[in-house]
């Protein structure tokens, strides 16, 4: 029974480390397809090599004597991950090509702990296989125990431990548990084992209480989705800006001395469009009761609160998947006595379930930030869902970071063009004239009826340049569907620019 329990626990520890790996490195380099591919590949490589070497060791030495040492070393190497996380964010890795740099960072942190934890299984197999007539049953039970441990570690970490305990505490707990298992497997006298375990647990308690610098999380809050930080820093021309950082990306900013201003240029552009829609008594959207607006993604709730203030009587709803983002927004960025209604769920679920009977003048997609793109919010099926939630004459706006001729924005234009007959692209003014070699922030506007953008621009100068894309030329780009939405690949050029 002890062998099966050890197989269960060590497999659980490996999967726990794999799950928390993404959260540990998110504040350094973010999380995307390439990050998770590197994590899964490195951990599987560690398991493969460790299993091979462990089998070789089990045939040459007494596995009972090896077991305790392997576990203790594995535990010590696991705790070393924590001080190693900031260390890998160095020019040694950042000067490598992006994908190789990410792979190298992950390998330095997680290959060796995975390797040593994987050494355990072959040793257990050798110890448990005593009766040649029961090899199949023994192997099957050990394999099942390891698989169940992997399942338990995955579910417990993702569903409970990360939001409840935090990634650094999880790593410390895994390290301590593995070292204690190693001590229990020693041939030491009982009093010596008990003393050693007591010392380890005491050090664990003191470490968690004192929180030395290398154990302190870079996050103000660690939710199930993000590492959240709020900081203040100077911004050219405007002074101090309070920023909401999710993982390694700034999602919202408010100018401390001018809280009514909009810091992001794309927010100013969206606000300009809303003002033009609302201008004039003959406009169907003008006057009481104001707009009905749905925001997909809340961030710091800066633009939703702006709409609430500037268009009294408006209905403002926000679909924000992370309750902690909402909590911090209400605490740090907007007054708690606002009239905004929040749905803490995935935007697509909110549209198809909670808001299935609602219709809006404006839907604003603000769930994209840089190269962090929820791909299921880019597809034709999602665009059809948006169209069904718009009132007659309603519009859909979204912010996108890409090159003006980028593959991602081209795919979005083509995909939106299959659902909305009228599309407009607004982009930052390029001072250098080199608009097609550098990523920028774009605002895509889609509608079922034409918008008088020229008339609006004559009445009030828009913050962004306005173009109407050629939908025929957009046929060269990918059509994004639920079955095919390679957003990370389409944004790879931007990711490379960000890395450099």
Summarize pLDDT for 106-120 with one digit per residue, the tens: 999 999 999 999 999
Q: Residue 401: is the preceding peptide bond cis (ω within 30°)? A: no
Report the candidate in 344, 352, 357, 347 with the shortest Cα–Cα distance to residue 378: 347
Whether the per-residue pLDDT at 208 is higher than 80: the answer is no
Half-sphere exposure (CA, 13 Å, Cβ side) for 175? 19
Q: 499 vs 329, which has greater pLDDT? A: 329
* Mean pLDDT, rounded, of the chain: 87
Looking at the structure, do residues 129 and 34 belong to the same domain, yes or no? yes
Same domain, 375 and 304: yes
Whether 120 is covered by a domain: the verdict is: yes
pLDDT above 60 for 474: yes
Dihedral Cα 186, 191, 192, 195, nearest 10 deg: 110
Of 202, 214, 199, 200, give the one whose Cα is nearest residue 168.
214
Look up residue 389 and give its two tokens.
Answer: 């939630």
305 and 170 inside one domain: no
pLDDT band with cut points at 50, 70 and 90 for residue 448: very high
> Of 157, 184, 217, which residue constitutes the final position of a domain?
217
- Indicate whether 37 pLDDT > 70: yes
d(CA 117, CA 113): 6
State residue 285's pLDDT score.
44
Claim to verify: residue 489 and residue 409 sit in the same structural domain = yes
Q: What percent of the chain lies above the pLDDT cut of 90?
A: 48
Q: Starting from the edge strand earliest in sequence, which strands make up the sheet with 315-319, in order?
A: 341-343, 315-319, 292-296, 360-365, 390-402, 440-447, 422-427, 465-467
Residue 325 has pLDDT above 80, yes or no: yes
- Residue at 308 is within a domain: yes
pLDDT of residue 449: 92
| 272, 278, 282, 284: CA torsion to nearest 10 | 120
Domain boundary among 167, 195, 217: 217
Q: At what angle do helices 33-60 and 63-79 cross, to 10 degrees?
A: 150
What's the CATH number where 470 sits? 3.40.50.150
Average pLDDT over residues 342-347: 95
Say if residue 462 is exposed, middle or buried (CB neighbours under 10 Å; 0-12, 13-18, 19+): middle
Cβ burial, residue 464 (10 Å; 0-12/13-18/19+)? buried
Which range, of 71-80, 201-210, 386-395, averages the lowest pLDDT? 201-210
User: Do 160 and 265 lie in a common domain?
Assistant: no
Domain-embedded: residue 248: no
Residue 110 lies in a domain: yes
Quick: pLDDT tens for 148-189. Answer: 999 999 999 988 888 888 888 899 889 999 998 888 888 777
9 in the same domain as 151: yes
Q: Give yes or no for residue 301 having a pLDDT over 80.
A: yes
Domain encompassing residue 92: 2-217
Same domain, 266 and 190: no
- Max Cα–Cα distance, the chain, nearest Å: 90
63-79 and 98-118 helices, crossing angle to 10°: 140
What local confidence, expressed as pLDDT, does residue 289 receive? 54
The pair of three-digit structure tokens given for residue 250, joined into one six-digit string:
């700034």
**pLDDT above 80 (res 337):** yes
Token representation of residue 134 = 């029961």
CATH number of the CATH domain containing 166: 1.20.1250
CA distance linking residue 113 with residue 410, whole number of Å = 43
Domain closes at, from 217, 245, 276: 217
Model confidence over 42-60: pLDDT tens digits? 999 999 999 999 999 999 9
* 174 and 299 both lie in a single domain: no
Q: Is 234 within the bounds of a domain?
A: no
Q: How confident is the model at residue 312 (pLDDT cuts 50, 70, 90)?
A: confident
Residue 84 has pLDDT above 50, yes or no: yes
**pLDDT tens-digit map of 266-283:** 999 999 999 998 874 344
Does residue 44 form part of some domain?
yes
| Arithmetic mean of pLDDT, 370-381 | 88
Number of domains in the chain: 2
The two structure tokens encoding residue 400: 């996108």
User: Same domain for 175 and 271?
Assistant: no
With respect to residue 228, please indicate whether it lies within any of the assigned structural domains: no
Which of 53-67, 77-91, 181-195: highest mean pLDDT?
53-67
Q: What is the end-to-end Cα distance of the chain in Å, rounded?
A: 53
Burial 142-154 (b: 16+ CB within 10 A, else e): beebbeebbebbb
Indicate whether 432 pLDDT > 70: no
Buried b / exposed e across 212-244, counting CB within 10 Å, b at 16+?
Answer: eeebebbbebbbebbbbbbeeeeeeeeeebbbb
Plot region of 237 (φ>0 → left; ψ -120 to 50 → alpha; else → beta): left
Sign of the C-alpha dihedral computed for residues 413, 268, 302 and 164 taken in this order: positive
Question: Are both 123 and 203 inside the same structural domain?
Answer: yes
What integer pLDDT is reported at residue 212 of this predicted model? 64
Q: What is the mean pLDDT of residues 434-458?
A: 83
Q: What is the DSSP letter of 476?
A: G
Co-location of 266 and 143 in the same domain: no
**Whole-number Å distance between alpha carbons of 291 and 360:** 8
Q: Can you state the angle between helices 98-118 and 492-499, rounded to 10 degrees?
A: 90
- The reported pLDDT for the residue numbered 200 is 77
The pLDDT tens digits of the residues spanning 228-256 come to 999 988 887 788 999 999 887 888 898 88
CA distance 16 to 217: 18
Per the domain annotation, does 231 fall within a domain? no
Instruction: Please give the pLDDT value at position 283.
Output: 47
pLDDT at 445 over 90: yes
Highest averaged pLDDT of the listed ranges 195-199, 250-254, 325-329, 336-340:
325-329
Residue 336: pLDDT band (50, 70, 90) is confident
The pLDDT value recorded for residue 396 is 97
The structure's pTM equals 0.86
Q: Provide the pLDDT confidence category of residue 221 given band limits of 50, 70 and 90.
A: confident
Same domain, 150 and 266: no
């Amino acid at each position: 029974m002890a062998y099966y329990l050890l197989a269960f626990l060590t497999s659980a520890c490996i999967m726990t480390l794999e799950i928390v790996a993404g959260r540990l490195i998110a504040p350094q380099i973010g999380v995307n397809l390439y990050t998770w591919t590197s994590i899964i590949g490195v951990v599987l490589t560690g398991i493969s090599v460790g299993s091979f070497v462990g089998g070789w060791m089990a045939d040459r030495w007494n596995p009972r004597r090896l077991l305790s040492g392997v576990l203790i070393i594995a535990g010590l190497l696991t705790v070393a991950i924590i001080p190693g996380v900031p260390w890998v964010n160095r020019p040694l890795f950042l000067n490598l090509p992006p994908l190789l740099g990410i792979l190298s960072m992950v390998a330095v942190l997680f290959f060796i702990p995975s390797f040593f934890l994987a050494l355990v299984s072959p040793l257990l197999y050798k110890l448990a296989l005593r009766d040649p007539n029961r090899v199949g049953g023994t192997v099957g039970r050990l394999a099942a125990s390891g698989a169940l441990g992997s399942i338990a570690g995955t579910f417990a970490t993702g569903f409970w431990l990360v939001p409840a305990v935090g990634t650094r505490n999880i790593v410390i707990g895994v390290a301590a548990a593995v070292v204690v298992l190693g001590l229990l497997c020693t041939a030491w006298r009982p009093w010596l084992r008990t003393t050693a375990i007591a010392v380890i647990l005491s050090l664990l308690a003191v470490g968690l209480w004192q929180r030395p610098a290398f154990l302190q999380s870079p996050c103000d809050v660690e939710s199930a989705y993000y590492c959240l930080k709020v900081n203040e820093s100077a911004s050219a021309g405007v002074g101090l800006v309070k920023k909401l950082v999710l993982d390694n990306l700034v999602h919202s900013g408010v100018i401390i001395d001018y809280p009514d201003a909009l810091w992001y240029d794309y927010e100013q552009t969206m606000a300009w469009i809303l003002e033009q829609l609302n201008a004039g008594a003959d406009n169907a959207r003008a006057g009481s009761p104001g707009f009905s607006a749905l925001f997909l993604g809340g961030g710091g709730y800066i633009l939703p609160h702006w709409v609430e203030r500037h268009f009294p009587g408006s209905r403002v709803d926000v679909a924000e998947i992370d309750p902690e983002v909402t909590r911090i927004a209400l605490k740090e960025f907007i007054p708690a006595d606002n009239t905004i209604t929040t749905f803490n769920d995935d935007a697509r679920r909110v549209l198809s379930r909670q808001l299935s009977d609602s219709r809006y003048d404006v839907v604003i997609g603000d769930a994209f930030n840089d190269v962090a793109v929820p791909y299921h919010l880019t597809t034709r099926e999602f665009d059809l869902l948006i169209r069904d939630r718009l009132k007659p004459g309603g519009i859909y706006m979204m912010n996108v970071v890409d090159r003006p001729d980028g593959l991602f924005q081209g795919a979005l234009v083509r995909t939106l063009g299959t659902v909305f007959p009228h599309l407009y692209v607004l982009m930052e003014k390029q001072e250098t004239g080199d608009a097609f070699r550098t990523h920028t922030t774009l605002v895509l506007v889609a509608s079922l009826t034409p918008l008088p953008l020229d008339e609006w621009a004559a009445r009030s100068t828009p913050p962004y340049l306005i173009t109407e894309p050629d939908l025929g030329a957009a046929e060269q780009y990918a059509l994004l569907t639920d079955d095919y939405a390679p957003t990370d690949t389409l944004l790879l050029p931007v990711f490379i620019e960000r890395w450099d």
